[in-house]
Amino acid sequence: MGYAWLPFDAGNEWFWGIRAGAEFDFNSRLTAIASVGYDDEFEGSSDGAFDGSVRLNYRANDRLLPYLEVSAFEAGNWGSSIGIAYKF
């Protein structure tokens, strides 16, 4: 589960994306991920967008991973998200 906020209106459409990045460990609990990606709508009516992101992860335990992410999009927009990843 998580919450994402974007400063532009993305509409009410489904998106797909692809990304590549690297994870850096600061210690046994704190990591950072730097990545680049491309996202677009399934309908194909949009132009899509490239982005660069930095994500900070905190390993709370073996199953919970709270995170904070900041992204810059090619059109000059910025986005941020905060959430919790859960390992089943």
**Residue 1 pLDDT class (50, 70, 90 cuts):** very low
User: How far is C-alpha 77 from the geometric centre of its chain's CA atoms?
Assistant: 14
Q: Which of 51, 52, 43 is nearest to 11 (CA)?
A: 43
* Half-sphere exposure in the Cβ direction for 24 (13 Å, CA): 8
The two three-digit tokens of residue 69, written as one number = 């992410």
Q: What is the pTM of this model?
A: 0.73
Burial of 39: CB neighbours in 10 Å, binned 0-12, 13-18, 19+: middle
| Sequence ranges of the domains in the chain | 2-6+23-41+48-86
The pLDDT tens digits of the residues spanning 23-55 come to 999 999 999 999 999 887 777 667 788 999 999
CATH code reported for the domain at 2-6+23-41+48-86? 3.30.1300
